[in-house]
Amino acid sequence: MEDVLDEVVSSEDLQKFEKIFHEQLQQGNVTPKAQFEYAWCLVRSKYATDIRKGILLLKELFNSHADGKRDYLFYLAIGNARIKEYNKALHYVKAFLEIEPANQQVLALERQVNKRMEKEGLMGMAVAGGAHLALLMNAAVGVHYLLTRNRKKNEKEE
């Protein structure tokens, strides 16, 4: 299965569904279908601000329309994972799996999110470890400087 977290919407699709959504918004009558399609595009954008906007639209749909809750949960999980809100993503995955525990697509998404959490956790530890090492090196250089300076000062006094 292709990693759905790497899927990026085409600019043509985004523009198409954005236009429909905004036209309906100006008329004061946005259908759940138009809102979902626009949100679906936004959470697959390469821009975090678009993804966050898509998440908000999906949350609104989830709270107001019972018919598409499964789809809303799935794309809420994807959107949150794409902005590295992994705990929130897993929350939505687990909520979906309570409804449909054997859904292979959602189980695969759960594995992808866990893999990314693990990978970025290890990278985070490496970065933190590197920062710690740099701090220790700076301290060692500072101690060496002070010892060398004191030794030279003592030699001059003798």
Which pLDDT score is estimated for 121? Answer: 83
Report the SS3 class of residue 30.
Answer: coil
Q: Count Cβ atoms within 10 A of the Cβ of residue 34 and give its class: 0-12 exposed, 13-18 middle, 19 or more buried.
A: middle
Q: What is the mean pLDDT of the chain?
A: 87
Which pLDDT score is estimated for 10? Answer: 96
- Percentage of the chain beyond pLDDT 90 is 71
Structural contact between residues 37 and 1, judged by C-beta atoms closer than 8 angstroms: no
Q: Is the pLDDT of residue 123 over 70?
A: no
Over range 37-47, report the average pLDDT: 97
Q: Is the pLDDT of residue 139 over 70?
A: no
Over range 106-130, report the average pLDDT: 79
Which pLDDT score is estimated for 3? Answer: 84
Q: Is the pLDDT of residue 4 over 60?
A: yes
- C-alpha to C-alpha distance for 53 and 56, rounded to whole angstroms: 5
Q: Looking at 65-79, 85-99, 132-146, which range is the least confident one?
A: 132-146
Over range 78-83, report the average pLDDT: 98
All domains in the chain, ordered by first residue: 11-123 (1.25.40.10)
Over range 86-102, report the average pLDDT: 96
- C-alpha to C-alpha distance for 33 and 3, rounded to whole angstroms: 25
- C-alpha to C-alpha distance for 91 and 14, rounded to whole angstroms: 27
pTM: 0.76
Locate 119 and state its tokens: 């990978």
Q: Is the pLDDT of residue 25 over 80?
A: yes
Assign 1 a pLDDT band (cuts: 50, 70, 90).
very low
